[in-house]
Amino acid sequence: MKFDGLDKNRLPRHVAIIMDGNGRWAKLRGKSRIEGHRRGKTSVRVIVELSRKIGIRFLSLYAFSTENWLRPHDEVDALMGLLQHYLIAEQAKMMRYGIRLLAVGDRSRLPQSVRRTLEQVIEATRNNGRMTVVLALSYSGRDEIVRMARQIARAARENRLDPETIDERMISAQMDSPEVPDPDLLIRTSGEMRISNFYLWQIAYSELYVTPTLWPDFREQEYLQALIDFQRRRRRFGRTDEQLVDTAPSVLEAGGSES
């Protein structure tokens, strides 16, 4: 596949996606919501593969929010099953192509078997350096911030930390994936103009891209369109056009460094 119109020198380093619209996709076709999630899994495969080919270094996928636990049991079970199948099926490809898997979110709420598979794939792929896929599972931005605050408060109580030394870098470093830089581009499918508790701290200066396309229909052309759109943006980071630079002020950068 050719990537016409895409400037390989100005790619977002980190793309984050709120994968929404599986249920609506299914409803439009008179199918069950679970069928929609199944089709959504294919989109995940396509987008991971294309990201790798294009040379995206970090890809975050919002797969299941803490609020999604409130959905009907059948749907939650099916999503967990699909997730486990995905991990098992994709591990070999991750090894072949140098893809490292990370997860953000409260893993303790995941079913044991899913958690075990997840941790096994994370461990197996930990030295892969070509690209990092971050799965947000049982994740919410506020939950992550609460867990971060607890860790910092604990360190202060135990005199391991002087509160006056807390800065943005330290907070970034206490988040679930400190080695991942903040997203440059945040995509949401299915047209909803909201963040739904995804990365809150991390998207301070992310470029937003919302498409009405439902996640199961979000494939190559749609993704390239989002990347091309991103490359047309002027990221000012608070400065004026005349001062334009292409990078965030250091204070806004993620605490970690790129691998």
Return residues touching Mg ion (CB under 5 A).
20
Least separation in angstroms between residue 118's CB and ligand IPE is: 16
Least separation in angstroms between residue 12's CB and ligand IPE is: 19
Q: Residue 10 or 194: which CB sits closer to ligand IPE?
A: 194
Least separation in angstroms between residue 24's CB and ligand IPE is: 3
Catalytic residue selected from 4, 7, 9, 20: 20
User: Which residues are paired to 59 by β-bridges?
Assistant: 15, 133
18 contact choice in Mg ion, ligand IPE, none (CB below 5 to 8 Å, kind-dependent): ligand IPE
Contacts of 179 (CB under 8 A, 6+ apart): 102, 132, 256, 257, 259
Q: Does 68 bind ligand IPE (CB under 6 A)?
A: yes
User: Which residues are paired to 97 by β-bridges?
Assistant: none
243, with CB counted inside 10 A (0-12, 13-18, 19+), is exposed
Residue 20 designated active-site:
yes
User: Distance between CA atoms of 233 and 236, rounded to whole angstroms?
Assistant: 9
Q: From the list 7, 123, 167, 192, which residue makes contact with ligand IPE (rule: CB under 6 A)?
A: 192
Return the structure tokens found at 254. Answer: 């993620």
Least separation in angstroms between residue 91's CB and ligand IPE is: 21
Residues 255 and 30: beta-carbon distance below 8 Å: no
Residues 118 and 149: beta-carbon distance below 8 Å: no
Other Cβ atoms closer than 10 A to 25:
24
Q: Does 91 bind ligand IPE (CB under 6 A)?
A: no
Q: Residue 28 or 95: which CB sits closer to ligand IPE?
A: 28
Q: Residue 20 or 35: which CB sits closer to Mg ion?
A: 20
Nearest to 8 by CA among 250, 228, 246, 251: 228
Quote the distance between the C-alpha of residue 120 and its chain's center. Answer: 20
Q: Does 131 bind ligand IPE (CB under 6 A)?
A: no
Rounded-to-5 percentages of helix, strand, coil across the chain: 50, 15, 40
Q: From the list 32, 111, 179, 196, which residue makes contact with ligand IPE (rule: CB under 6 A)?
A: 196
Q: From the list 34, 39, 41, 64, which residue makes contact with ligand IPE (rule: CB under 6 A)?
A: 64
Element (H, E) at 25: helix 22-28
Q: Does 62 bind ligand IPE (CB under 6 A)?
A: yes
Q: From the list 60, 65, 128, 206, which residue makes contact with ligand IPE (rule: CB under 6 A)?
A: 65
Q: Does 169 bind ligand IPE (CB under 6 A)?
A: no
Other Cβ atoms closer than 10 A to 242:
5
Residue 127 designated active-site:
no
Least separation in angstroms between residue 41's CB and Mg ion is: 15
Element (H, E) at 156: helix 141-157
Q: Which residues are catalytic?
A: 20, 68
Q: Which residues bind ligand IPE (CB under 6 A)?
A: 18-24, 62-65, 67-68, 79, 190, 192, 194, 196, 215
